[in-house]
Structure 1
Amino acid sequence: MKKIYILLGSLFFIAACTTDLDQSPPNLASADSLTDFEGVLNAAYYYQLGSVTPLAVMAEFRSDNALMDEAPYTEFDVYTNNLTTMENQFFAPMYRGLYKSILSANNVIENSTNATHVGEAKFLRALSYFKLVKSFGAITVHLTASPSLSDTSILVRQPANDVYNNVIIPDLMDAMSALDVAIVDGRASRYAAQALLGKVYATMGDFSSAEPHLAAVAGGAGLALKTNFDEVFGAANEVGNSEIIFSTQVSSSIVDEYGFGSDFWNWFVGDDSKADFPVDPDLVAAFDASDANGGGTDLRRAVTLSSDGLTAVKFPKDGGLGGEHDWIEIRLADIILLYAEALNENDAPATTVLPLLDPLRTRAGLTSLTGTVTSKADVRQAIADERRLELAFEGHRWFDLVRTGTVDAEMGVSVNSNYHLFPIPISEVLSSDGVITQNAGY
């Protein structure tokens, strides 16, 4: 598969902190001498790689889907300030990569005359800030390609709601206007921008605003669920996949913030000694419950888990293609389930909401819930259960628990809300002389 960021002729290796801002490599053209910013746009796509492995681990191992075996990585399940010890493994690579993507996108937005490229850059900037906000809460905001190196006030963290309302939502609105609905593998599209906008509103708890955008994508022309669940995953299924709305392309030949190709799947299949048997027994029990209550065997189990239920095989490593799995950022099933959630939260009757789940459940070999689940609260739980099994190991679970306020209920422990967020990399706090502050509890 061709990877869109292979052409990196005009990279601006810039990070968020003061010590990293002044990093324009020699022999690369300066922004004011460029006329074609496609290389810079490709760099903005490329830098998303830095968030792939961290988000995969943060979303799954912090939740009740996966477990670490080895200290200090077991801290993901303890909810103390000791997560800061994993800065170099997860939080710093993600933080650096996303701010590099943002500043590359800023360069395109400021300087390119190609409206489509500007639309893609605004999508990528919004996606980057969305990942940062849901992971860290209040964050530093850069909206220019050349942040001042002397004015440290620009590093002050902005409240999450301000970032949503003043940056992410306007960027996605602009991207929707600039982009076409056609989905080309690895590129942003109008559907990707509208789907992400719906996800943003849902994360904010604004389901009235989320509903129309999610509805438009859920019924979008050219989008369709694959007939079989296993046809969604695997490197061989990625090109032209009607269910994948946007993914970050991964290649074993392209290094990321770690200095080697992204390998998020290794954490799930047990190839890393820190998690030899990563599947949380609670997820196995959830599949058991789905079998018992669904009128059949949930076919997603065999695609998601090994036969012994100890490792996750959703992104198989067979055929020598392990290093070529793209990271699915948004797919149709995710949007359908969010649309059902928005309808339910907006007081639509169960008879309207539950049929949306039928195609997913039929594909999974299960019966319809219509008529068996009636109350708003029970429909809410049914959708949450469906999201867990449908989207396991795709980077959603922890963020879903935080978004829906169900961390304590699902994890079975009382978790201080400070630890709903992850720690700001200490390197960023120190290099900014404390202008960038640490999250409470860390």
Structure 2
Amino acid sequence: MKTFQRIKFKAIGITAIMLLFVIAGCRKELDYTPEVFVSAQSLYKDQAGAIAGVTGIYQQLQTLKKSDYQLIGVIGTDEARCAYQAQGYGSYWAGVVGIDVYDLTFNSQNADISGFWSVCYKGIANANAAVLNIPQIKNFGDASLQNRLVGEARFLRAVYYFYLVQLFGDVPMPLENTAFDNGVPRTPQATVYNQIISDLKFASTNCWAKSQLGASAAGRANMEAAKALLGKVYLTLHDYQNAKTTFEELINGNKLTLLANYADLFDGQHENNTESLFEIQYSTDNNNNTQGLQNLYGSYAGPPVPFQQFNQHTPGYGGTVITSTAFYADTVFAKPYSWAYQYDARYKASISHDRYDSNGNTMSWWADPGLPTVKKYDISSSDIDVYHSGKNLYYLRAADVFLMYAETLNELGQTQAALVPLNKIRERAFGNSSVNYALTDQVSMREIILDERARELGAEGWRWFDLKRTGTLISRVKRYDDPKRDFMKKNNSSTDPHPTQEISSKNLLYPIPLSELQNNAALGLKAQNPGY
């Protein structure tokens, strides 16, 4: 659809030589806008060039979160899905629907899958150049800063590889000293994870703490973020003892805190806050630095007048691509108490139950083909329009750490202890301890924590990875992401326009992009994941 703006990248093999961006000075926090292209040798010759080069690596993460690539990790789960209308927006958006329902378009030529792969490897290539060249700069002038910049590059490399290994399994793993003459073969997952852990350990030692960075460097990788991601990697590997040690060091040593008001996290007025460990920076100062998630997550209709004239109708306004599932909009917020959603502060901050017609009047979703929409990405009066928002997006925040810590303790058989971090999240959500969880068995606690992650972190990009990690992806999608059931229930209809949900065990891995199989001399079509 022409109204949906996105960044397109031509799929390329990882053997391409990547150029680094020279970055302009700060406006909001980090300005990712590329101004000129230079070689790595020309860029990494002094301290200023090193700062500029590392800043450029953040641009790929910004790209992964600013438009429909962000949907990878959100759709195809129990918390969000594509509206049935999206399949009629053209072949590109039919491919996005395919990621949601795992149909025939969920294949090696899917544009979102190949684009996500390509952007990750662009980030890795730029990170590799930084890791290789920064230590070689003579007369740098500040050893701590020099090590910090390498730490930032290694943190970002870990971020990109962590996405790739979870989505694709064995993946090519070029590093700063990798030769490309004969292509790069797929590296076993265990080896990729070892490299991720190594990078994050280096980053947690050499990146500065948030307090050291200060406001002028907000948005840069920091010690707390590196430790949080390291703990998440250990949890993903089911290495619970190392996860426990990492989380306890972070929670106790760095004194993690939550914002008092959950809604403040998403109002655009509390960016880079005390709860935030690492967030991706956007700004309306430059249109290239904006994100357009509201256009994907917004409502079906809105008044056809300039933005400044319908500020009162902003909530829920936007495109018709993503809706919540019935599970995320209603069921999970009603558990374990049928009345809980009325008092859970996260419900009103996360869900827009009403939509607006072309006259600006509210309409119930029961009269509309879609479900309630995700409110977290609503634009504010300071944004340009539904396509250009300057609101930052979270990658890691303290609430995620507390919930991962609870999961870790429970898996270690310490279910009683797991209640402490879990109920810390509940008390912020309800404003008191009256709905705190009491001691239960380990199996029941697993589902409790998984539900709590949905309420707390819905549509923030972790759900697919959470479900895969806990071995519940297939069962939860089949149980809760059922467009046919939702549509027919609401419309009293015997027919359903939604595509059939076709998830199976092969979908625990994404298909390797065809472009990579063709362009990487070490691969070939036989290197594809099973079932594709």
What letter matches 2:530 in structure 1? A
Output aligned runs, 1:216-365, within 5 Å: 216-221=249-254, 223-239=256-272, 241-252=273-284, 261-270=290-299, 275=321, 278-284=323-329, 285-292=331-338, 294=340, 297-308=343-354, 310-321=372-383, 323-350=389-416, 352-365=417-430
Distance, in Å, in 1 between the alignment partners of 2:227 and 2:463 is 21
- Looking at structure 2, the residues matched to 312 and 83 of structure 1 have their Cα atoms a distance apart, in angstroms, of 24
Task: Look up the equivalent residue of 1:48 and give its one-letter code.
Answer: L
* Farther off after superposition, 115-124 or 355-364: 355-364
| Displacement of 1:30 | 4.2
Q: Is contact 1:291–1:297 with CA below 8 Å preserved after alignment?
A: no
1:139 maps onto 2:193 in alignment: no
CA shift for structure 1 position 196 = 0.5
CA distance change for structure 1 residues 190 and 81 in 2, over 3 Å: closer, same or farther?
Answer: same
What SS does structure 2 have at the residue aligned with 1:424? Answer: coil
The aligned residue for residue 202 of structure 1 is: 235
Give, in whole Å, the separation in 1 of the partners of 2:120 and 2:230. 18
C-alpha contact (below 8 Å) 1:123/1:193 kept by paired residues: yes
Root-mean-square deviation over aligned CA pairs: 2.9
Is the contact made by 1:54 and 1:94 (CA closer than 8 Å) also made in structure 2? no
Worse-superposed segment, 135-144 or 196-205: 135-144
Aligned partner (choices 461, 465, 471) of residue 405 of structure 1: 471
Give the secondary-structure state (helix, strand or coil) at the position aligned to 1:364.
helix
Q: Which amino acid aligns with 2:45?
A: L
Whether 1:87 aligns to 2:100 is: no
Give 1:28's aligned amino acid: V
Task: After TM superposition, give the deviation of residue 138 of structure 1 in Å.
Answer: 1.3
Kindly state the Cα deviation for residue 265 of structure 1 after the two structures are TM-superposed: 3.5
Superposed CA deviations along residues 78-126 of structure 1, whole A, max 9, x for unmatched, are 32342138732x2233222221211211122112141111111111111
**1:96 is aligned to 2:118:** yes
Contact 1:344 1:353 in 2 (8 A): yes
The answer to whether structure 1 residue 172 and structure 2 residue 234 are counterparts is: no
Asked whether the 8 Å contact 2:182–2:522 carries over to 1, the reply is no
Say if 1:49 and 1:97, in contact at 8 Å, map to a contact too: no
Counterpart selection for 1:182 from 186, 210, 228: 210
Query: Which of 414, 417, 435 pairs up with 2:523?
Result: 435
- CA 1:23 to 1:362, structure 2 compared with 1: closer, same or farther past 3 Å? closer
Which residue identity lines up with residue 38 of structure 2 in the other structure?
A: L
Contact kept, 8 Å, 2:427 with 2:436, in 1: the verdict is: no
Distance 1:160 1:18, change over 3 A: closer
Structure 2 residue runs of 5 or longer lacking an equivalent are 1-8, 22-35, 88-93, 136-145, 300-316, 355-370, 480-501
Structure 2 match to 1:6: none
1:39, CA displacement in angstroms? 1.3
**Partner residue in 2 for 1:20:** 16
**Residues 117, 27 of structure 1: alpha-carbon distance in 2 compared, 3 angstrom cutoff:** closer
Question: Counterpart in 2 of 1:159?
Answer: 188
Q: Tell me which structure has the larger Cα radius of gyration.
A: 2
Q: Check 1:273–1:266 CA distance in 2 against 1; reply closer, same or farther (3 A cut).
A: closer
- Structure 1 pair 193/27, CA: closer, same or farther in 2 (3 Å)? closer
Cα distance, 1:55 vs structure 2: 5.2
Q: Taking structure 1 as the reference length, what is the TM-score of the superposition? A: 0.86
Q: SS at 1:61's partner residue?
A: coil
d(CA) in 1 for partners of 2:463, 2:445: 18
Q: Offset at 1:149? A: 4.4
Deviation at 1:374, TM superposition (A): 1.4
In structure 2, the partner of 1:108 is 130
Q: Which amino acid aligns with 2:220?
A: R
Normalised TM-score (structure 2): 0.72
Q: Distance in 1 between matches of 2:121 and 2:234?
A: 22
Gaps of 5+ in 1: 1-12
Q: Does 1:423 align with 2:468?
A: no
**Which stretch shifts more, 111-120 or 64-73?**
64-73
